[in-house]
Amino acid sequence: MSFPFLQSYLGLGSGLQTKNAAGGGGGGGGSGIGGWVELGRASGTGSSQTITVSSLANKRYYLVLSHCISSANIAPAMRLGNGSVDTGSNYAWRSSGNGGVENVYGNQSEGMRCDDNIANDNNDRLNTWYVSNFASKEKLMIGHSINRNSVGVGNAPRRGEAVGKWANTSSALDRIQINNTQNTAFGSDSEVVVLGYDPADTHSNNFWTELASTTLTSDSSTISSGTFTAKKYLWFQYYTRQTTGGFTLRANGDSGSNYHRRFSGDGGAENTATSAQLWGDYNAGKASFGNWFGVNTSSKEKLFIGHVNEVTTTGAGTAPSRIEVVMKWANTSSQVTSLAFNLRDAGTNFLAGSCIKVWGSD
């Protein structure tokens, strides 16, 4: 099953243009439009407080994956530039940490942070940024972040969300920099990957490879991706239909209490939970749609950022619920190679048409 809205929004074209698990060319609807292509990446050196990806092709949209490893206190911010990184006071942004109060900043030179109000501490981060890049318009950004918090399942991850802008209206960007505003070096395993998409693209070398796709043809109490190839970066979507009750999500069949998550529903109070599931959607009731990104390094805790649309009552008279989630799997010895959903209530089933799809890349 494909997801037309997100295919368009995330740059996958009208037909799902992904490479198969064996690395073959993308299939799909025959439109010839490429998806997200890798434009460049850079790694931390262990001695620099900035990581810069330069000489970027001019694309209308960018997706930035920033995995910052801590060697001391870190607080990543994003700067943009053309010809050189703009270090002037030309950034403005608004952010919230752990669902807390909004912080608003103008005329900033350090760049844009999406984890403000979160401790500037010695903990790894995964940030995702969408960037709109039109030469004659201010460059607009949407960012989300997970801060691992201290190692171990007893320490709930932290989450941040932000919008920002680079007030440049004279040129398209050609470089993106992640700047540690704590003036300390990023760890040597840190990495910034920049993906680009333009409606005119016709390439077939997509960054994301389809790893797994499962659609139920009959009702079942379980939806499993099956075993897929381990990749450093994961992106997965799911759509579930059921008559009642919520579900659990586990990685690699791990049923131990090795997961910790933080989430907020409909902008309400933050909730944290340590339990035997990576994600537990307890109120889904009728249907749930989720979109997630994660970093999947064997020796690090697995970090995920997710957004969920949850339907409890069908019909136009009742709005769905929105959920913002960050979660971690406190496994530091292996990578995620399978994801499985199980319904929480005995005797209930996911309905035919429910599905999960997983993409990945190194």
Hey, what domains does the chain have and what are their CATH numbers?
1-31 (no CATH), 36-197 (2.60.120), 209-361 (2.60.120)
- CA dist 218 to 236, 354, 355, Å? 22, 9, 11
Strands 321-329 and 233-241: unpaired
| Cα(111)–Cα(85) distance, integer angstroms | 10
Q: What is the pLDDT along the chain (362 residues), one digit of tens a residue?
A: 344 334 433 444 333 333 333 333 333 333 445 689 999 999 998 888 999 999 999 999 999 999 999 878 888 999 999 999 999 999 999 999 898 888 999 999 999 998 766 767 778 999 999 999 999 999 999 999 999 988 888 899 999 999 999 999 999 999 999 999 988 889 889 999 999 998 888 888 899 999 999 999 999 999 999 999 999 999 999 999 887 777 889 999 999 999 999 999 999 999 999 988 888 776 656 889 999 999 999 999 999 999 999 888 888 999 999 999 999 999 999 999 999 998 877 778 899 999 999 999 99
Residue (of 310, 314, 305, 306) closest to 322 by Cα position = 310
SS3 call for 236: strand
